[in-house]
Amino acid sequence: NQVMMEGRLTKRMHRILTDTFDELADVLGLEFDLVGGESAELVAGLVEYLIELRHDARATKDFEKADVIRARLKDMGVVLEDGPEG
């Protein structure tokens, strides 16, 4: 939600995230009927969730998982920069 609220969710990022979500839903056999802003909110929530998962992976020193999540986010147009506090 923070990405969306700060206006950092570009059309390209939204499209990539929506496509990724659709692919995951297909693999899991899920169907969603989202209209307009609902999909943007869902995508933003999923991005925040991935960021939280990465943070948790780093906290438990699972750097391989953290790197995979960071790479996937980068592929979707979300660039994370680590600072001194993480």
Sequential DSSP letters for the chain: -HHHHTT---HHHHHHHHHHHHHHHHHHT------THHHHHHHHHHHHHHHHHHHHHHHTT-HHHHHHHHHHHHHTT------TT-
Residue-wise pLDDT tens digits, 8-64: 667 777 777 778 777 777 777 777 665 556 666 777 788 888 888 888 999 999 999
What's this model's pTM, rounded to 2 decimal places?
A: 0.56
